[in-house]
Amino acid sequence: MASDSARAAASADKITKAALSMLTVQDAQSLAEQGLIFMFISPEWVKTDLGNKKADLTPEKSAIFVFDLLVSATIAYNWNSTIFVWTGGTITMEPRCRAR
C-alpha cells in the first residue's frame, strides 16, 4: 500500500502537469497571432541523479528528442498547443485541449 506522502507526491505531480498543460493551451491561443508556438514537451523518465538508472531515456536521447521537436516546430504544422510525450521510444501527440 502506498504511503500518504507517496500519494501526495503523485497527486502534486499530476496537478502540476495539468496546470502546465493548460497554461500552454492558454498562451498558445492568446499569442498565436504573433506567430509564437507553445508546446508542452514531456521527456518522461530520464536517467539522471533524480530519475535514477532505471529510467528508460538517457539525457542525450532526451535532449535530441526536445531539440528535434523545437527545430521542427512551425506554424505550418499547426503544432501550437500540442502536447508531446516520449513513451517507450515513440513520441505521441496528445489531443489538444480546446477552450469552449
Interatomic CA distance for residues 57 and 74, integer angstroms: 26
What would the pLDDT profile of 69-90 be if each residue is shown by its tens digit? 888 877 666 677 777 777 655 5
Q: What does the pLDDT look like over 34-75, one tens digit per residue?
A: 888 888 887 778 888 877 778 878 899 889 888 888 888 776
Q: What's the rounded mean pLDDT across residues 17-27?
A: 85
State the pTM of this model: 0.61
Task: Tell me how many helices (H) and strands (E) the chain has.
Answer: 2, 3
Compute the distance between CA of residue 94 and CA of residue 17 in angstroms, rounded to an integer. 13
